[in-house]
Amino acid sequence: MGAEHRRLLPYSMLLGALLLLGADLAGRLIGSNDEISAGIMVALIGGPVFVLLVRRWKLSHL
């Protein structure tokens, strides 16, 4: 029962690095003259994903 953190940790590290790399790349490409901060891009990408995950979790545990 429960999560096996030894298996989850490498995947979460890889996914986090890819998310930050993608956010930085998108911030550099979207801003024509100025760069958009990677933190802002992560919030724009991760916010809706987090809301969807919370909604899915709530619906499955009702």
Give the per-residue pLDDT at 34.
Answer: 81
HSE, CB side, 13 Å, CA atoms: give it for residue 37.
Answer: 3
**Cβ–Cβ contacts within 10 Å for residue 29, how many?**
10
Domain boundaries, the chain: 5-60
Please state the length of the chain.
62
Q: State the amino acid at position 60 in one-letter form.
A: S
Q: Provide the percentage of residues in the chain whose pLDDT is more than 70.
A: 94
pLDDT tens by residue, 37-54: 889 989 998 899 999 989
Q: What is the mean pLDDT of residues 56-61?
A: 77
Q: State the amino acid at position 4 in one-letter form.
A: E
Whole-number Å distance between alpha carbons of 50 and 60: 15
Single pTM value for the model? 0.70
